[in-house]
Amino acid sequence: MKLYYSPASPFARKVHVTLIELGMQDAVELLFTPVLPGKPIEDYVKSQNPLGKIPALQIDSGETLFDSTIICEYLDSISPATRLLPAEGIQRYRTLTRQALAHGICESVVAIRYETFLRPEERQWDVWIADQWSKADRALSWFETHQPLWQGDIDLAQITLGCALGYLDFRAPEHDWRSNHPILQHWFETFSQRESFQATLPHA
**Confidence at residue 148, expressed as pLDDT on a 0 to 100 scale:** 77
Integer Cα distance of 74 and 69 in angstroms? 9
Whole-angstrom distance, CA of residue 173 vs CA of residue 109: 11
Residuewise pLDDT in 10s, the chain (204 residues): 999 999 999 999 999 999 999 999 999 999 999 887 777 688 888 889 999 899 999 999 999 999 999 999 999 999 988 899 998 899 999 999 999 999 999 999 999 999 998 888 899 999 999 999 999 999 999 999 998 777 789 999 999 999 999 999 999 999 999 999 999 999 999 999 999 999 999 987
89's torsion region: left (phi>0), alpha (psi -120 to 50) or beta? left
Cα dihedral 101, 107, 110, 114 in deg (nearest 10): -150
Strands (E), 6-127: 29-32, 56-58, 64-66
**pLDDT reported for residue 37:** 76
pLDDT of residue 165: 98
Given this model, what pLDDT does residue 3 score?
A: 97
Q: In this structure, what are the phi and psi dihedrals at residue 83, rounded to the nearest 5 degrees?
A: -115, 135
